[in-house]
Structure 1
Amino acid sequence: MIRRWAIAAVMLVAACGQQEDPAPPPPTGAESTPSPPTPATSTTSSSSQSRPSVAPKPSRTLDMRKYTTQACDALTQQQVASLELSSYQVLRATNLCRWSLDGGKTTFDLSFNTVMDVLQLYYDEADKPYWVVFEAITVGGFPGVKRQGDSKPPVYNCQVFVATGPKQGIEVRAVSTGVAADWCGKAVKAAEFVVGNLGT
């Protein structure tokens, strides 16, 4: 009797020592609950370098009185021909000469400025996105700028200004709809002709 009681006691202790089954692990893979999405972030950067904002000053002054009121006389017929402008209509103004083609679809302007620092005005606009080309040039020892706006074919353009003194200079502007030419090359060449004709 005592022995059976002892065996029963041992079995009761063993049963009490057993632990409940552990909780099942959390589901994995497709059964897991997705985490909230991380908000997307973006950064912008620009590789373009800032252009100069102060125009160089001419070291001397060129006497432009020879052509300031007769701008069309600033280029010889041979020079006009070399610029391929001989077939253009010529429009004369006091300090400006315009070569025009196709009723104004293409214009090539040569003008003389004697009242303000136009070169600095060009540099004031140097960082404007519209000017896809902005290049410092030197013509006959005088500082200048060649710039080209962001126009799409069939529209082409170029502007050149050469400072021939503190508040004076020569400006060449070309705008064309339909004539795909090196307008910047023509504008620079025209400025070189004029400076040469004035006597550097």
Structure 2
Amino acid sequence: MALHADAHDWTLRTAHNRDEMWELADEDGIREARLTYPSGWLFLTRDTATRELVRLAAATGGEWEAEELAHELDQSEETVEQSLEYLVALDVFREEDDAYRPNAESVVAQTAERLRVTADEHGSEDGFHDIASPEAVRLMLDALLSMEMDEKITQDDLHELVGLSRKSVWMHVERLANLGILVESGDSYVLDEANPVFGNVRALNAAVLGTALSP
């Protein structure tokens, strides 16, 4: 499944190409492989412009030109236009006469807002930002999306699964524990699949993939 915008071609990860991701991991490392074959979750949170546009679409109405959005987000206009192309393809924004407005009916934007609210309710200061902005956190969540319920996982396991340093994993894993996504079990963690924050991460991943697959 691919999304196209100008010179970029993103292949979203599905059950059909997951083996290709792992083959690439053997050559270029798991971090690069995950970013090359992003889940819906990683695709939507991959860079600052896209994350901030999703937050904006989830929180407000209005209509903007790309130049206005670039100024609002303190990003280059080229970067914002590229992110907007993908978000229009995912039905998060609608474009008409070079103006962009959030789609109030967007399943992706609605799910992103539910994730923000739920994370805030679980003690986060800025729900969507706190779990989508640090690379280590969003990569760990990406790895957890494919975990089995009750499967134990250590910090070393997470290090191997995301391809970041042990220090980076150690510095950020507590955020997932504080949100109740990971529960300490001896020297390991267990994923709490009933946790509503993780449930909304999973729902957001499905919303992106489902929208991309729609005719």
Structure with greater strand percent: 1
TM-score by length of 1: 0.26
Higher Cα Rg, which structure: 1
